[in-house]
Amino acid sequence: MDSTAEILAQVNAVRWHQSFEILPGVVSQGTYRPDGLWRRLGLGPEISGNRVLDLGARDGYFSFRCETLGAKVLAVDYVEKEGTGFSLAAKLRRSEVQFINRNIYDLRPADIGTFDYVLMLGLLYHLPDPYLALEILRSLTKPGGVAFVETTCTDEAVHFKDRSVATGSLNDLPLMIFVARNVTSFWDMNSTCLTQLLEHTGFSLQDMQRWGKRMLARSIAVESSEVERTNSMARGVVKRG
Ligand SMILES: C[S@@+](CC[C@H](N)C(=O)[O-])C[C@H]1O[C@@H](n2cnc3c(N)ncnc32)[C@H](O)[C@@H]1O
């Protein structure tokens, strides 16, 4: 085993996004602390033995927290695990979390199965087609399973380029705005829009938390023939009769 000094040198050589304690006394120097969001998820020992999918896992913080609770975790990111802190953190923790390097648009239940819990945290606004992303999220969540979606929230204001526009009076409308903040940011939306997108793609919303510019939806995957009919029509062809 490497000495603490060697471990710290390896850790400090990585460009981290998530700041967390990888091992006792060894903390990644990331740009944000995910432990507040972890508390909002409210996950506990009930996930032990369950399958958890962490979409856009980055350095693996949420995957490792779920693993520590006894879950069987699959982490997915379109950045290779050596390109983030995931690989080093997994090695140091002797983690058994599985990682696949794939775009979430290419995930299929036929390949990876379905999951009791799916985390889509800090990901939706990075995706060009949020409706398709939520359809894929639904296809990967077991009926009765739980999906968490955390993303940017415009309930107070829309932050568009160099100006902010107050939007409080519009919150009963499902609004999404194309923000294109940078090459990886596409859409911000309000909580009414996220709720309706989730319900339209086969989820039942259980809880919506909002704080500052962010929101977290907890939903249950439901069976819905209406959703299947709508989506097969929207992405297929309509035959006569
Ligand atoms: C803002 S980070 C969020 C990381 C983590 N989920 C969290 O909440 O702390 C977004 C992550 O999603 C990944 N990502 C973005 N678009 C993706 C896509 N289309 N498919 C897979 N991963 C993607 C990025 O590489 C990055 O690791």
With respect to residue 199, please indicate whether it lies within any of the assigned structural domains. yes
Separation of CA 6 from chain center:
32
pTM for the complete prediction? 0.96
With respect to residue 23, please indicate whether it lies within any of the assigned structural domains. no
* pLDDT tens sequence across 166-179: 988 899 999 999 99
Count how many domains the chain has.
1
With respect to residue 128, please indicate whether it lies within any of the assigned structural domains. yes
Place 162 in a pLDDT band, splitting at 50, 70 and 90.
confident
Q: With helix as H, strand as E and coil as C, how does 78-139 read?
A: CCCHHHCCHHHHHHHHCCCCEEEECCHHHCCHHHHCCEEEEEEECCHHHCCCHHHHHHHHHH
* pLDDT tens sequence across 223-237: 877 888 888 888 888
With respect to residue 181, please indicate whether it lies within any of the assigned structural domains. yes
Q: Could you identify the atom of ligand 1 that is nearest to the CA of residue 79?
A: 25
Provide Rg for the chain, Cα atoms: 19
Stated as kind and residue range, the H or E segment containing 201 is none
Domain containing residue 219: 35-234
With respect to residue 2, please indicate whether it lies within any of the assigned structural domains. no
Q: Are 28 and 90 in contact (CB under 8 A)?
A: no
CATH code (residue 119): 3.40.50.150
Q: Please, what is the average pLDDT of the chain?
A: 95
With respect to residue 27, please indicate whether it lies within any of the assigned structural domains. no
| Bridge partner list, 148 | 119, 218
- State the distance from the centre of ligand 1 to the C-alpha of 192, rounded, in angstroms: 23
Residue 104: DSSP 8-state: G
- State the distance from the centre of ligand 1 to the C-alpha of 23, rounded, in angstroms: 23
Q: Could you identify the atom of ligand 1 that is nearest to the CA of residue 32?
A: 9
Q: Which residues contact 130 (CB under 8 A, 6 or more apart)?
A: 124, 176, 186, 187, 189, 197
pLDDT reading at 1 higher than 60: no
With respect to residue 217, please indicate whether it lies within any of the assigned structural domains. yes
* pLDDT given for residue 116 in this prediction: 98
Using alpha carbons only, give the angle 224, 230, 232 rounded to the nearest 5 degrees. Answer: 100
List all residues whose CB is within 6 A of at least one atom of ligand 1. Answer: 18, 34, 56-58, 76-79, 103-104, 121-123, 126-127
* pLDDT given for residue 30 in this prediction: 96
With respect to residue 184, please indicate whether it lies within any of the assigned structural domains. yes
